[in-house]
Amino acid sequence: MLRAPPEVSVRQILFVGLVVPVLLAACGPTCQSTCQKLYSEQQCNLQRPGKSSAELYGDCVDYCETALKEPGSLDGYDPYSRGGTSNSVTLDNENQAASWMYCVEQQACERLDYRSGQGGFCQPVW
């Protein structure tokens, strides 16, 4: 015996359309978690001459959070393309910052540091 599909209520549509995306967004990377991965001693511990890990972390969070305040598109930005020491990559808006954070989250530390033979991905990394 075939049954008619259950009716979908407006409340269910609103839940799936509005609440679920918010809950999923909360599970992704943040500026803090991304910068922590890059510069904490417990994770990648990337270092730069003349800068402490705390300075690198603070600059990273400020830079990321500033980009998140600006709406915009990727506009050609691709964090998965390999960069080097000579190119200057900037994050200008929220979509670029989000793509950068997801890239960092997915990569091994060796692939993030442009000074390693395998690195240069997910630019910018200061």
Domain ranges of the chain: 30-112
- pTM here? 0.75
Q: Output b/e per residue, 47-71; b: 16+ Cβ within 10 A.
A: eeeeeeeeebbeebbebbeebbeee
* pLDDT tens track for 66-121: 999 999 999 999 999 887 655 578 999 999 999 999 999 999 999 998 877 788 89
User: Of 87, 82, 101, which Cα lies nearest the Cα of 25?
Assistant: 101
- pLDDT of 4: 53
pLDDT at 32 over 50: yes
pLDDT at 45 over 70: yes
